[in-house]
Amino acid sequence: MVGSKEGYQLHAFFFPLMAQGHLIPAIAMARLFSSRGVKVTIVTTPLNARLFSHTIDGDKQLGLDISVQLIQFPSEEAGLPQGCENVSSSHNFFDVAPKFFTALDLLQQPFENLLQQYLPEFVVADMFFPWVTDVAAKFGIPNLIFHGTSFFSLCVSDSLRRYNPHENIKSETDRFVLPGLPDQIELMRSNLPDLQKIPSELGKYFKRVDELEGRSYGVLVNSFYELEPGYADHYKKIMGRKAWHIGPVSLRNRDITDKEQRHSCLSWLDSRKPNSVIYVCFGSMVPFTAEQLLEIAMGLEDSGQPFIWVLRLKGEEAEQRSRMLDGFEERIEGRGLIIRDWAPQVMILDHPAVGGFVTHCGWNSTMESVSAGVAMITWPIFADQFHNEKLVTQVLKAGVSVGAHYFQEVVGEKGVVKREDIKKAVQQLMISGEEAEQLRSRATELKEMARKAFEGGSSYADLTALIEELRLNPRPEV
């Protein structure tokens, strides 16, 4: 396999993290590579495979060379309950995070055995498998890292590590400037996780991730150049990292969004006026205090706007917290809709009745909103979400902040966002006025840019360049 092979079919291993926020874009990315002629094997565990096997079967029927290879998840060996194979398996992931990361490390040997057996031309592995780079290097196989976030967030994280601007800030709510970035971006200490402020085992794990990035073949980013050009350039030229922007990968999923089973909420949306409905969803991971849920409910009710609220309560507190909303659903009947299970988010955002999105600023949700041309109300909670909020509100100018300031594991534990602020943000975005029109107009511009980039533009070209580079130089030294 040495030397140029013009028509040779590349074989790629995709190894996504077992978490919805990473799994969904990684599978979309795997399907994207497959649609461009690459043979793709997705490595995952049995329970996670069930989440997307229907989609992969559909691709196979269309003639794509894509398959799933199963490995067992070492739940019990890591001290986790049997069947805990996904971040969302636990009521509160932060309670089991150290054990979950131990389980991820225990996957090293079975993954290495598969690599040795199949010898793919390259691997795309999630950032939470930092050992993959060294394991793949044993066989001369290049490893591409997938972070699941934006160029902007990667640049912000680098500034925090490089300059430690938060170290001398005494108050949690004092602002500080992030040095070395294309724009003047400010954060608060309260926006940062404890592991960035206090030494911990989890902090050491993330340090391993950072150190290995520079030794990998490069980084795949679910973004497009026109969205964040200053930060794509900063990442590649100033930070000196090799990267390819190939998104928004959610556009690859628009052909399979379960259109066979039309969700009842879509019929509800059909009866609404264009741009009149606010969609509210905070992802699948974080629990809320009863007090915070009540404030959200009252804020939405007081706003006077039609809304869809995806409210997935988990754990023992679910019933108690539901009782906090007694009478709410009766009062908002006809104007509001609560979805207590899975919701077809891409299809909801694409619906012409939806005019705004209250989001936790997870990168998938942000990109899906951009791709649909929907302006956002930003409510970050943890991870990279405070970074993404700054991108949306300050750089892209496609959203307004609800005023959430605390990185937290249970929403409302450290700082409750009040109903008045929720009502204000919803009305600011949804009620006609100069600011609302500017936000809508900007969101529409970004939607057009996203589609052009993905359908033959910058993202299409970057993916083409990467595939050709790997084809012409199979198994380069890492």
User: What is residue 18's DSSP assignment?
Assistant: S
- Location of structure tokens 């949700």: 365
Neighbours of 333 (CB within 10 A): 9
Of residues 250, 316, 322, 312, the one with CA closest to residue 284? 312
Compute CA 378 distance to the chain's CA centroid, rounded to the nearest angstrom.
14
Q: Please name the helix (run of DSSP H) or strand (run of DSSP E) that holds residue 357, with its range, or none.
A: strand 354-359
Residue 60, token pair as written in the block: 């196979």
Residue in 65, 91, 126, 194 annotated catalytic: 126
Contacts of residue 401, defined as CB under 8 A and 6 or more positions apart, other chains included, come to 377, 378, 379, 389, 393, 425
Sign of the alpha-carbon torsion through 399, 304, 336, 273: negative
Residue in 22, 166, 234, 405 annotated catalytic: 22
Sign of the alpha-carbon torsion through 254, 257, 262, 264: negative
Report the distance separating Cα 75 and Cα 87, nearest Å: 12
Count Cα neighbours of 213 within 13 Å in the Cβ-side half-sphere.
22
Distance separating the N- and C-terminal Cα atoms of the chain: 16
Residue 193, token pair as written in the block: 């996780």
Count Cα neighbours of 27 within 13 Å in the Cβ-side half-sphere.
24
Report the distance separating Cα 218 and Cα 247, nearest Å: 16
What is the side-by-side order of every strand in the sheet holding 11-15? 66-70, 39-44, 11-15, 122-126, 143-146, 218-221, 243-245
Exposure of 171 by Cβ count < 10 A (0-12 exposed, 13-18 middle, 19+ buried)? exposed
- Hey, which residues does 358 pair with through a beta bridge? 280, 377
Neighbours of 88 (CB within 10 A): 18
Report the distance separating Cα 259 and Cα 391, nearest Å: 32
Q: Is 54 a catalytic residue?
A: no
User: What is residue 291's DSSP assignment?
Assistant: H
Report the distance separating Cα 318 and Cα 302, nearest Å: 24
- Hey, which residues does 163 pair with through a beta bridge? none
Report the distance separating Cα 442 and Cα 438, nearest Å: 6
User: What is residue 284's DSSP assignment?
Assistant: S
Q: Is 22 a catalytic residue?
A: yes
Active site residues per annotation: 22, 126
